[in-house]
C-alpha cells in the first residue's frame, strides 16, 4: 500500500503537467488557466457549503448525545477534498469533486470507521475494555 501511494504521489505531478499541456494545446493557454482557476473557486465554494452542512450534522449528533464518528471522518475527507481541489490540475480536481459527493463521503467514512473500530478491538485484547459492575462496603 505504501509503494502504491509513493508511486501515485510521484507520478501525479507528471500526469497533471501532461494533461494541462494537452488541454492547453486544444483550448489555448488562457482558457486552460481560467479553467484551473474556476475549478479552484468552485471547489472553495463547495467546500464551504459542505463544511457548514457537516458541522451542522456534528452539532446535531452531539445534542442528541451521540458520538459523531461518521460526521467527523466525513469532515476529514472534506478537508482532504478541499486540499486536492485547490491543487492546480484536472486529475486532482476530478478526484476532489468526487470526494465532495456527500453519499460517497458517508460510505468512505463508514468504511474507515468500521476499519478503525475493528482494528481497535483487535489491538485492545480479549479482556481489555470489560466493565465489571460491583458493590462493596467497608467494614471496620
Q: Report pLDDT digits (tens) over 18-70.
A: 999 999 999 999 999 999 999 888 888 988 998 899 999 999 999 999 888 88
Is 0.75 topped by the overall pTM? no
The predicted-structure confidence for 126-139, as pLDDT tens digits, reads as follows 555 677 777 778 78
- How many other CB atoms are found less than 10 A from the CB of residue 61? 16
Mean pLDDT of all residues belonging to the chain = 86
Q: Dmax of the chain from CA atoms?
A: 91
**Predicted pLDDT of residue 3:** 84
Q: What is the DSSP letter of 138?
A: -
Each residue's pLDDT tens digit, 90-107:
998 988 888 888 889 889
pLDDT reported for residue 56: 92
44 to 37, 68, 78, 87: CA distances (angstroms): 11, 24, 11, 11
Mean pLDDT, residues 1-19 taken together: 86
pLDDT at 125 over 70: no
Instruction: Calculate helix-pair angle for 2-27, 29-63, nearest 10 degrees.
Output: 130
End-to-end CA distance of the chain: 62
pLDDT of residue 135: 78
Taking 70 as the threshold, does the pLDDT of residue 124 lie above it?
A: no
**CA-angle at 110, arms to 106 and 115, nearest 5°:** 150
Q: Alpha-carbon distance 114 to 108, whole Å?
A: 10
Residue 129's pLDDT is 60
- 120 versus 37: the higher-pLDDT residue is 37
Model confidence band, residue 119 (pLDDT cutoffs 50, 70, 90):
low
Based on the number of CB atoms within 10 Å of its own CB, is 4 exposed (0-12), middle (13-18) or buried (19 or more)?
A: exposed
Cell of 77: 475527507
Amino acid at each position: 500500500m505504501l509503494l502504491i501511494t509513493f508511486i501515485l504521489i510521484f507520478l501525479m505531478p507528471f500526469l497533471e503537467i501532461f494533461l494541462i499541456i494537452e488541454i492547453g494545446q486544444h483550448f489555448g493557454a488562457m482558457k486552460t488557466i481560467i479553467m484551473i482557476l474556476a475549478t479552484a473557486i468552485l471547489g472553495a465554494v463547495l467546500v464551504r457549503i459542505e463544511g457548514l452542512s457537516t458541522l451542522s450534522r456534528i452539532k446535531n449528533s452531539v445534542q442528541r448525545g451521540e458520538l459523531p464518528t461518521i460526521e467527523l471522518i466525513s469532515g476529514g475527507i472534506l478537508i482532504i477534498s478541499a486540499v486536492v481541489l485547490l491543487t492546480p490540475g484536472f486529475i486532482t480536481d476530478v478526484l476532489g469533486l468526487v470526494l465532495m459527493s456527500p453519499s460517497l463521503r458517508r460510505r468512505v467514512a463508514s468504511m474507515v470507521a468500521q476499519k478503525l473500530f475493528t482494528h481497535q478491538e483487535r489491538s485492545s485484547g480479549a479482556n481489555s475494555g470489560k466493565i465489571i459492575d460491583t458493590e462493596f462496603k467497608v467494614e471496620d
